[in-house]
Amino acid sequence: NAGVTQTPKFRVLKTGQSMTLLCAQDMNHEYMYWYRQDPGMGLRLIHYSVGEGTTAKGEVPDGYNVSRLKKQNFLLGLESAAPSQTSVYFCASSLGGGGETQYFGPGTRLLVL
Amino acid sequence: AQKITQTQPGMFVQEKEAVTLDCTYDTSDQSYGLFWYKQPSSGEMIFLIYQGSYDEQNATEGRYSLNFQKARKSANLVISASQLGDSAMYFCAMREGVNDGEYGNKLVFGAGTILRVKS
Protein backbone atom coordinates (compact mmCIF):
# COMPACT_ATOMS: atom_id res chain seq x y z
CA ASN A 1 0.00 0.00 0.00
CA ALA A 2 1.95 3.02 -1.28
CA GLY A 3 -0.65 5.63 -0.31
CA VAL A 4 -0.35 8.75 -2.44
CA THR A 5 2.52 8.99 -4.89
CA GLN A 6 3.60 11.86 -7.12
CA THR A 7 5.66 11.95 -10.28
CA PRO A 8 8.10 13.59 -10.82
CA LYS A 9 9.77 14.61 -7.55
CA PHE A 10 11.56 17.57 -9.08
CA ARG A 11 11.43 19.35 -12.41
CA VAL A 12 12.95 22.42 -14.02
CA LEU A 13 11.02 24.11 -16.83
CA LYS A 14 11.64 27.07 -19.05
CA THR A 15 8.97 29.74 -19.34
CA GLY A 16 6.35 28.67 -21.86
CA GLN A 17 7.01 24.95 -21.62
CA SER A 18 4.28 22.54 -20.66
CA MET A 19 4.25 19.60 -18.32
CA THR A 20 1.96 17.22 -16.47
CA LEU A 21 2.24 16.20 -12.85
CA LEU A 22 0.86 12.80 -12.01
CA CYS A 23 -0.76 11.84 -8.75
CA ALA A 24 -1.74 8.26 -7.97
CA GLN A 25 -3.44 6.76 -4.92
CA ASP A 26 -4.10 3.13 -4.09
CA MET A 27 -6.54 3.67 -1.22
CA ASN A 28 -9.68 3.70 -3.38
CA HIS A 29 -10.36 7.28 -2.32
CA GLU A 30 -13.10 9.21 -4.07
CA TYR A 31 -11.76 12.71 -3.55
CA MET A 32 -8.44 14.04 -4.80
CA TYR A 33 -6.83 17.46 -4.58
CA TRP A 34 -3.94 19.52 -5.90
CA TYR A 35 -2.35 22.17 -3.70
CA ARG A 36 0.59 24.46 -4.10
CA GLN A 37 2.84 25.58 -1.29
CA ASP A 38 4.67 28.88 -1.43
CA PRO A 39 6.90 30.35 1.31
CA GLY A 40 4.95 32.07 4.07
CA MET A 41 1.56 31.24 2.58
CA GLY A 42 0.74 27.70 3.62
CA LEU A 43 -0.99 25.45 1.09
CA ARG A 44 -3.54 26.71 -1.38
CA LEU A 45 -5.99 24.57 -3.29
CA ILE A 46 -5.62 24.62 -7.08
CA HIS A 47 -8.20 22.08 -8.26
CA TYR A 48 -9.99 19.14 -6.80
CA SER A 49 -12.10 16.18 -7.84
CA VAL A 50 -15.00 14.54 -6.03
CA GLY A 51 -14.97 11.45 -8.20
CA GLU A 52 -13.84 9.89 -11.43
CA GLY A 53 -14.59 12.12 -14.38
CA THR A 54 -15.25 15.23 -12.24
CA THR A 55 -13.08 18.25 -11.53
CA ALA A 56 -13.65 21.61 -9.89
CA LYS A 57 -11.71 24.81 -9.33
CA GLY A 58 -10.10 25.65 -6.04
CA GLU A 59 -8.67 28.88 -4.74
CA VAL A 60 -5.90 29.42 -7.33
CA PRO A 61 -6.87 27.58 -10.54
CA ASP A 62 -5.55 30.00 -13.18
CA GLY A 63 -2.82 28.58 -15.39
CA TYR A 64 -3.60 24.96 -14.50
CA ASN A 65 -5.80 22.23 -15.86
CA VAL A 66 -6.65 18.86 -14.37
CA SER A 67 -8.13 15.56 -15.39
CA ARG A 68 -9.47 12.57 -13.49
CA LEU A 69 -9.98 9.90 -16.11
CA LYS A 70 -9.35 7.08 -13.65
CA LYS A 71 -10.36 7.00 -10.01
CA GLN A 72 -6.83 6.39 -8.82
CA ASN A 73 -5.14 9.12 -10.86
CA PHE A 74 -5.35 12.89 -10.80
CA LEU A 75 -3.29 14.83 -13.34
CA LEU A 76 -2.25 18.48 -13.06
CA GLY A 77 -1.23 20.21 -16.26
CA LEU A 78 0.63 23.41 -16.91
CA GLU A 79 0.08 24.41 -20.53
CA SER A 80 2.50 27.34 -20.58
CA ALA A 81 4.64 27.53 -17.47
CA ALA A 82 5.39 30.89 -15.87
CA PRO A 83 7.96 31.78 -13.18
CA SER A 84 5.03 32.50 -10.82
CA GLN A 85 4.26 28.78 -10.93
CA THR A 86 7.54 27.95 -9.24
CA SER A 87 6.31 26.15 -6.15
CA VAL A 88 6.00 22.84 -4.38
CA TYR A 89 2.94 20.94 -5.51
CA PHE A 90 1.14 18.51 -3.26
CA CYS A 91 -1.49 16.01 -4.20
CA ALA A 92 -3.88 14.67 -1.58
CA SER A 93 -6.77 12.26 -1.41
CA SER A 94 -9.59 11.49 0.98
CA LEU A 95 -12.12 8.71 1.26
CA GLY A 96 -15.01 11.10 0.83
CA GLY A 97 -16.11 14.61 1.56
CA GLY A 98 -17.61 14.32 5.01
CA GLY A 99 -14.62 15.66 6.83
CA GLU A 100 -12.43 12.65 6.19
CA THR A 101 -8.74 13.21 6.58
CA GLN A 102 -6.77 14.16 3.52
CA TYR A 103 -3.61 12.15 2.97
CA PHE A 104 -0.81 13.85 1.12
CA GLY A 105 1.78 12.76 -1.39
CA PRO A 106 5.46 13.62 -0.96
CA GLY A 107 5.29 16.70 -3.17
CA THR A 108 6.78 17.82 -6.48
CA ARG A 109 9.22 20.69 -6.52
CA LEU A 110 8.86 22.74 -9.71
CA LEU A 111 11.20 25.48 -10.80
CA VAL A 112 10.23 27.63 -13.77
CA LEU A 113 13.06 29.72 -15.20
CA ALA B 1 -9.95 38.02 5.27
CA GLN B 2 -7.81 35.14 6.41
CA LYS B 3 -9.79 32.15 7.52
CA ILE B 4 -6.96 30.51 9.42
CA THR B 5 -4.49 32.55 11.40
CA GLN B 6 -1.34 31.20 12.97
CA THR B 7 0.25 34.11 14.75
CA GLN B 8 3.50 32.43 15.73
CA PRO B 9 5.93 32.26 12.79
CA GLY B 10 8.41 30.37 14.94
CA MET B 11 8.59 28.75 18.35
CA PHE B 12 11.29 27.20 20.49
CA VAL B 13 10.70 24.60 23.17
CA GLN B 14 13.01 22.68 25.44
CA GLU B 15 13.05 18.93 24.99
CA LYS B 16 10.56 17.13 27.26
CA GLU B 17 8.53 20.28 27.85
CA ALA B 18 5.04 20.97 26.51
CA VAL B 19 4.34 23.55 23.82
CA THR B 20 1.18 25.15 22.47
CA LEU B 21 0.85 26.24 18.86
CA ASP B 22 -1.88 28.78 18.29
CA CYS B 23 -4.57 28.68 15.63
CA THR B 24 -7.61 30.89 15.24
CA TYR B 25 -10.20 30.50 12.53
CA ASP B 26 -13.01 32.41 10.96
CA THR B 27 -16.19 30.81 9.66
CA SER B 28 -19.91 31.41 9.70
CA ASP B 29 -20.70 27.73 9.22
CA GLN B 30 -22.01 25.71 12.12
CA SER B 31 -20.44 22.52 10.85
CA TYR B 32 -16.74 22.53 10.18
CA GLY B 33 -13.59 20.57 10.95
CA LEU B 34 -10.15 21.57 12.10
CA PHE B 35 -6.97 19.71 11.29
CA TRP B 36 -3.32 19.91 12.22
CA TYR B 37 -0.58 18.70 9.92
CA LYS B 38 3.16 18.38 10.51
CA GLN B 39 5.69 19.05 7.79
CA PRO B 40 9.24 17.97 8.67
CA SER B 41 12.24 19.19 6.73
CA SER B 42 11.84 16.24 4.35
CA GLY B 43 8.72 17.96 3.05
CA GLU B 44 5.89 15.47 3.46
CA MET B 45 2.61 16.48 5.09
CA ILE B 46 1.70 14.28 8.04
CA PHE B 47 -1.79 14.32 9.53
CA LEU B 48 -1.75 14.74 13.31
CA ILE B 49 -5.19 15.39 14.71
CA TYR B 50 -8.77 16.33 13.83
CA GLN B 51 -11.52 18.18 15.72
CA GLY B 52 -15.09 18.42 14.49
CA SER B 53 -17.13 21.48 15.40
CA TYR B 54 -19.76 19.35 17.11
CA ASP B 55 -17.28 17.26 19.08
CA GLU B 56 -17.84 17.97 22.74
CA GLN B 57 -14.48 16.72 23.90
CA ASN B 58 -11.09 17.94 22.83
CA ALA B 59 -9.36 15.59 20.42
CA THR B 60 -6.28 13.71 21.57
CA GLU B 61 -3.81 11.53 19.69
CA GLY B 62 -0.92 10.30 21.76
CA ARG B 63 1.21 13.32 22.71
CA TYR B 64 -0.97 15.64 20.63
CA SER B 65 -4.10 17.28 21.90
CA LEU B 66 -6.26 20.00 20.46
CA ASN B 67 -7.44 22.74 22.78
CA PHE B 68 -10.73 23.61 21.09
CA GLN B 69 -12.43 26.80 22.28
CA LYS B 70 -15.41 27.25 20.02
CA ALA B 71 -16.58 30.60 21.37
CA ARG B 72 -13.11 32.05 20.84
CA LYS B 73 -12.76 30.27 17.49
CA SER B 74 -9.43 28.84 18.47
CA ALA B 75 -7.99 25.37 17.94
CA ASN B 76 -4.57 25.29 19.51
CA LEU B 77 -2.32 22.26 19.20
CA VAL B 78 -0.64 21.10 22.39
CA ILE B 79 2.37 18.83 22.13
CA SER B 80 3.37 17.25 25.42
CA ALA B 81 6.85 15.98 26.28
CA SER B 82 8.49 17.48 23.19
CA GLN B 83 11.02 15.40 21.33
CA LEU B 84 13.77 16.45 18.94
CA GLY B 85 11.81 14.78 16.16
CA ASP B 86 8.97 17.23 16.72
CA SER B 87 11.04 19.96 15.08
CA ALA B 88 9.03 20.79 11.97
CA MET B 89 6.55 23.18 10.41
CA TYR B 90 3.02 22.81 11.74
CA PHE B 91 -0.07 23.78 9.80
CA CYS B 92 -3.58 24.36 11.04
CA ALA B 93 -6.32 23.81 8.46
CA MET B 94 -10.10 24.08 8.32
CA ARG B 95 -12.80 22.35 6.33
CA GLU B 96 -16.07 24.23 6.04
CA GLY B 97 -19.57 23.12 5.36
CA VAL B 98 -21.55 19.91 5.34
CA ASN B 99 -22.57 19.97 1.71
CA ASP B 100 -20.01 17.88 -0.09
CA GLY B 101 -21.22 18.99 -3.45
CA GLU B 102 -20.59 22.60 -2.64
CA TYR B 103 -17.42 22.49 -0.64
CA GLY B 104 -15.83 19.22 -1.69
CA ASN B 105 -14.10 18.73 1.64
CA LYS B 106 -11.69 21.50 0.73
CA LEU B 107 -9.09 22.58 3.26
CA VAL B 108 -7.94 26.11 3.96
CA PHE B 109 -4.51 26.27 5.54
CA GLY B 110 -2.79 28.74 7.81
CA ALA B 111 0.70 30.02 7.05
CA GLY B 112 2.27 27.63 9.54
CA THR B 113 4.45 27.74 12.63
CA ILE B 114 8.03 26.49 12.66
CA LEU B 115 8.77 24.61 15.87
CA ARG B 116 12.32 23.98 17.02
CA VAL B 117 12.95 21.61 19.92
CA LYS B 118 16.15 22.32 21.83
CA SER B 119 18.14 19.60 23.60
CB-count burial class (<10 Å; 0-12, 13-18, 19+) for A63: middle
The percent of residues above 70 in pLDDT, for chain B, comes to 92
Mean of pLDDT over chain B: 91
Q: Between residues 18 and 37 of chain A, which touch chain B (CB distance below 8 Å)?
A: 31, 33, 35
* In contact, A15 and A85? CB cutoff 8 Å: no
Closest chain A residue to B41, measured at CA: A106
Q: What is the pLDDT of residues B72-114, one digit of tens each?
A: 999 999 999 999 999 999 999 998 765 555 556 788 999 999 9
B110 in reach of chain A (CB within 8 A): yes
Q: Mean per-residue pLDDT for A45-71?
A: 94
Task: Test A97 with B50 for CB contact under 8 angstroms.
Answer: no
Task: Test A45 with B37 for CB contact under 8 angstroms.
Answer: no
Q: Is A53 left (phi over 0), alpha (psi -120 to 50) or beta?
A: left
Q: What is the pLDDT of residue B28?
A: 87
B103: enclosing H helix or E strand: helix B100-103
* In contact, A27 and A103? CB cutoff 8 Å: yes
Cα–Cα distance between A19 and A22 in angstroms, integer? 10
Cα–Cα distance between A50 and B86 in angstroms, integer? 33
Q: What is the pLDDT of residues B45-70, one digit of tens each?
A: 999 999 999 888 999 999 999 999 99
In the predicted structure, residue A82 carries a pLDDT above the cut 80 = yes
Selected for mutation to probe chain A from B5, B7, B29, B45 (highest A CB count within 10 Å) is: B45
Closest chain B residue to A46, measured at CA: B106
